[in-house]
Amino acid sequence: MIIQILPEQCIACGLCHTYNPIFDYDADGLVRFDAGVTELDLAPDASLVQAAKECPTRAIVVKEY
């Protein structure tokens, strides 16, 4: 699955990190990945899908193959 973050839509609520620690934050508290990229290709993971569903601003997008 592809997981993409949209930092420009993030409101720094921190909810995504409660679902999966892959989500990190920059100095302003906006979502980011440790690698500094905005898109990752990962094995399917229910916690990532749940983080995307729960994000209040839809700053996380999951694309399943």
Residue ranges per structural domain of the chain: 2-63
| Tens digits of residue pLDDT in 22-53 | 999 999 999 999 878 999 999 999 999 999 99
The H or E element spanning position 48 is: helix 46-54
Position 3 pLDDT exceeds 80: yes
- How high is the pLDDT of residue 34? 82
- How high is the pLDDT of residue 64? 87
CA 25 – CA 33 distance, rounded (Å): 8
Output the CATH code of domain 2-63. Answer: 3.30.70.20
Residues ≥6 apart with Cβ < 8 Å to 32: 5, 7, 23, 24, 25, 26, 38
Q: State mean pLDDT over 13-25.
A: 94
Identify the band that residue 17 occupies on the pLDDT scale cut at 50, 70 and 90: very high
Listed residue (59, 55, 63, 56) closest to 19, CA to CA: 55
Chain-wide mean pLDDT for the chain?
A: 94
